[in-house]
Amino acid sequence: MQRNDIRNVAIIAHVDHGKTTLLDRLLEQTGALGSFKAEEERIMDSNPLERERGITILSKNTSLVHKGVRINIVDTPGHADFGGEVERVLNMVDGVLLLVDAFDGPMPQTKFVLGKALALGLMPLVVVNKIDRPDARPWDVLDMIFDLFVSLGASDRQLDFPYLFASAKAGYAVLDPKDAARTEGMGLLLDMILERLPAPEVEPDRPFQMLVANLFYDNYLGRLLVGRISRGRIAAGDRAVRIGRDNARTLGKINTIFAFTGLTRQSVGRASAGDIVMIAGIPEGFIGETLADPEHPDALPVISVDEPTVSMHFRINDGPLSGEEGKYVTSRHLRERLERELLSNIAMRLEETETTDEFKVSGRGELHLSILIETMRREGYEFTVSRPKVIFRQINGRLCEPVEDLCLEAPEGCVGALMELLGRRRAEVQGIDKLTADTVRVRAHIPTRGLTGLRSEVLSITKGEGIMTSALLGFEPYKGESSPRTHGVMIAKEPGESVPYAMWKLEDRGYFIIKPNTRVYEGMIVGAHAKPNDIVVNVCATKKLTNIRAANKDEAVRLTPPRTLDLEQSLHFMADDELMEVTPKAIRLRKRLLTETQRLLARKKKTAA
């Protein structure tokens, strides 16, 4: 039977196409914001990192009521690195709201998330957003969306998708872009959700069953499991059995049931098939597992997500400044935090290494792992990480590597330099499209390892105007060696504080990544050498005093501003024999072997082998 009093919908789109803004407007116009400020932008992006970066990292649940029908909505990330978040929440919904920019059209992540939704048989409702842009081309974009549906093997039912044109920022949706001047808000979109997206098929009289699709933790309630009840009913105080991935079964008691109302969760006494709920009281529950009636413990299919493509090594900080800035510094702290991350981050993998002080962490991309690093840093953890490496696979006896679908938007005059850059990184250009009079879009397939450091080089070539996005395409035969790092590094010779005079004397050797008066130690990387080899420098040397004083002999120290690196840039900057030291107060680069003697012996040993 169908349950017509609710709809379960996910919003999917490419990054920056307006998902979170659209949801803000829907909540605002249906009065679901409550005490939250309606004028605040991206209310659903509550995580500090999400607000700083302007992206959605974690999927979130909310609900609103329209014409007596509760619409449960899941806001999903748009970046390919957080595809694991998208894949698991699609199991909770019956339809998707596909948002596409009226100028950009379908982008790599649009193809990725739509392909997942179509494969699950979900019904789409297409919204062409940002039609108020001066360069918008809504009808052309709609044709491009239809072609994408065809290429992804959509069924006849899915190809007959309903569509609307909207401006999430201005807060309206219309059937024709020409009607924008006489719009009445988002009512038309809400009506279409009720009319064209299916109500959930439910079996309320069968034994309880729910697949866990998300997980949160509360200091008072403990583990909170989120999912859609697929059949039956559940009430606070009922007992339920947890069926693990290995078919292990443990019995627990449902203490509290929460329903999502606007931006808050509300305790409810009971829930039934079709409801998206949060359950407290099952201490060992995990994403992808099943909660079921103890007398009928039937397991649902486990949620599967694409495997990781990039790995890094996390280890304790054993540098000279170890323990001075962090709150959690031991291997036990590091292990417990990474294991806790596994509970909710199903796209991540954790492996032991030969030592107890180091762990191999794999994820869906550099951004995926860098968000974890930054989160841990802000929580007070101190550790070091290695350079990201792609994960190779053996497929049909051949070495294969992950390949990304890359889009670059840049000024037309930069195309030549971008082609040379992509060529060095083993990219295969698929086409160049002219977007405006002076802007082009370059489409290419590039090995995942070729993305390392690419963003910073693109920004340098385009003078900050380049826009780069990518999504995993699949695994293809190994493309061959790409160009190695073209510069060496400058390594601090001794501990102390960097002196402006010493740095000024070394400026002709390259550029610095530290500021004057920065605390350094032996083996710490202080800058990039202009030549391919590494050099040891003394940035702590002071000017020698003499008894000869002449006004015209004193040299004025005018330093070139250093190129300070953020977390992602530091990951790109590193070589295989280097580490990034992460603390709550600083990000430093260093050599694995801190002394020149250790590095020399290691090179001799490697040569002899």
154 shares its domain with 52: yes
In a domain, 217, yes or no: yes
226 shares its domain with 347: no
What's the CATH code of the domain at 323? Answer: 3.30.70.870
225 shares its domain with 352: no
398 shares its domain with 365: no
User: Looking up tokens 């489409």, which residue turns up?
Assistant: 443
The C-alpha atoms of residue 283 and residue 428 are separated, in whole angstroms, by 49
What's the CATH code of the domain at 450? Answer: 3.30.70.240
157 shares its domain with 189: yes
* Average pLDDT value over all residues in the chain: 84
280 shares its domain with 315: no
In a domain, 514, yes or no: yes
The C-alpha atoms of residue 604 and residue 481 are separated, in whole angstroms, by 24
Q: Residue 404: pLDDT above 80?
A: yes
Q: Residue 32: pLDDT above 60?
A: yes
Q: Determine how β-strand 535-537 pairs with β-strand 488-492.
A: parallel
What's the CATH code of the domain at 531? Answer: 2.40.50.250
The residue among 132, 78, 76 whose CA lies nearest residue 103 is 132
The C-alpha atoms of residue 385 and residue 402 are separated, in whole angstroms, by 22
43 shares its domain with 185: yes
Backbone angles phi, psi at 557, to 5 degrees: -95, 110
Q: Measured between alpha carbons, how far apart are the two ends of the chain, in Å? A: 70
Q: What is the pLDDT of residues 256-286, one digit of tens each?
A: 999 887 767 888 889 999 998 999 888 777 7
Share above pLDDT 70 across residues of the chain, in percent, rounded to a whole number: 89
What's the CATH code of the domain at 253? Answer: 2.40.30.10
In a domain, 140, yes or no: yes
| Count: domains in the chain | 5
Which of 451, 477, 503 terminates a domain? The answer is: 477
Q: What is the pLDDT of residues 228-240, one digit of tens each?
A: 999 999 999 999 9
Q: What is the pLDDT of residues 74-132, one digit of tens each?
A: 877 645 545 556 667 788 889 999 999 998 888 877 887 888 889 889 999 999 999 98
Domain housing 10 = 6-196
Integer angstrom CA distances of residue 53 from 57, 64, 83, 599 = 10, 27, 17, 38
- The predicted model scores a pTM of 0.74
Residue 121 gets the label, from left (phi > 0), alpha (psi -120 to 50) or beta, of: left
Cβ neighbours around 351 below 10 Å, total: 10
Q: Residue 39: pLDDT above 90?
A: no
What's the CATH code of the domain at 112? Answer: 3.40.50.300
User: Looking up tokens 């900057």, which residue turns up?
Assistant: 573
In a domain, 297, yes or no: no
pLDDT value, residue 85:
60
31 shares its domain with 131: yes
In a domain, 281, yes or no: yes
492 shares its domain with 472: no
In a domain, 456, yes or no: yes
Q: What is the pLDDT of residues 316-356, one digit of tens each?
A: 999 999 989 999 999 999 999 999 888 777 778 999 998 88
* Mean predicted confidence (pLDDT) in 491-499: 93
20 shares its domain with 158: yes
pLDDT value, residue 464:
79
In a domain, 69, yes or no: yes
Which of 357, 388, 419 terminates a domain? The answer is: 388
Backbone angles phi, psi at 100, to 5 degrees: -135, 135
Which of 343, 363, 388 terminates a domain? The answer is: 388
286 shares its domain with 314: no
**pLDDT band at residue 48 using 50, 70 and 90 as cut-offs:** low
Is 378 exposed, middle or buried (CB count within 10 Å of its CB: 0-12, 13-18, 19+)? Answer: exposed
Element containing residue 553 per DSSP (H, E): none
401 shares its domain with 439: yes
In a domain, 1, yes or no: no
The C-alpha atoms of residue 488 and residue 525 are separated, in whole angstroms, by 10
